[in-house]
Copies of this chain bind each other. A is one copy, B any other.
Amino acid sequence: MYSPIITLTTDFGLRDSYVAEMKAVIASLSPGTLIIDVSHEVEKFNIRMGAFILAQAAPFFPKETVHLAVVDPEVGGQRKPIVIQTKNGFFVGPDNGVLMLAAQFQEIQKVHEITNPKFTLKRISNTFHGRDIFAPVAAHLAKKHISVEEIGPKVLHPLNPGFAKVSRRGNTLHGEVLHVDGFGNVITNVTEKDLPKSAPDLTVEVKTVSEVIELKLTKTYANSPAGELIALIDSHGYLELAMNKGNAARGLKLNPGEKIILKFCK
């Protein structure tokens, strides 16, 4: 049994009616579609955070899933509404980078602007494209009866902010914080592949606390005493600074975007 899926990632919060209005539009146009919330608690206007969260979740969805993301400070302005078709599915939202990170992991095939009024609501407000443009386009894509070419013209240079690259000097890695999760785990842009093969111990230099901290590279939280600062490879392959039963980000005063310097003891 094929059941199409649409995911939603926004900074709308769950208190107002905005998310429900998008779901109402989807359920009206594409009954039977399964709608799965990725997050509506992205910080207001934080495109980078929305992009990160969507990129974490997207790989686990089945083929042909339609991912709708709206973190859209320039709604009604110059930024284009777009659809990205990848090898695995579709991404619908503003052309401000919020879709790009997740889409890139799936091999981008086509990027088109949304201009065809056949696939949007008849009346488009200036302030809520999530409901009036993105939700109806996602619903039409989920029904699989349209091609992205019908939606509008090709976009030649979609915005692609990217994430800071990790740089290496000898046994030192310069990286940055991508995300702090609800447990206070500090997720960095350093991946498993960036790490030396045999280095269970490392130091991390964090400007926010003007300190060089010694850490153990461990396999899981439960391996270390409660309250000890540890480093581990998280469930998505990123190096994470964590504290067993504690909040690492609070202790280290680390926020997304902050630089970290890792040194490996041979």
> How would residues 46 to 59 of chain A score, 1 for a CB under 8 Å from any chain B CB and 0 otherwise?
00000001101100
Which residues on the B side are within 8 Å of A222 (C-beta)? 73-78
B32 near A27 with CB under 8 A, answer no
Copies of this chain: 3
Q: How far is the CB of A108 from chain B (nearest CB, A)?
A: 20
* A interface residues, how many (CB within 8 angstroms): 66
A182 near B15 with CB under 8 A, answer yes
A113 within 8 A of B: no
A151 within 8 A of B: no
Report the separation of the CA atoms of residues A105 and B34 in the bound assembly, to the nearest whole angstrom: 28
Which residues on the B side are within 8 Å of A182 (C-beta)? 12-13, 15-16, 44
Q: Which single residue of chain B is at the shortest CB-CB distance from A78?
A: B222
A24 near B36 with CB under 8 A, answer yes
Q: How far is the CB of A51 from chain B (nearest CB, A)?
A: 11
A156 within 8 A of B: no
Pairs of residues from A and B, 4 with the lowest C-beta to C-beta distance, nearest first = A76-B220, A77-B222, A128-B235, A125-B235
Residues of A participating in the B interface, judged by any CB pair closer than 8 Å: 1-3, 5, 7, 12-21, 23-25, 27-28, 31-32, 34-42, 44-45, 53-54, 56-57, 60-62, 73-78, 125-128, 131-132, 181-183, 219-223, 232-235, 240, 245
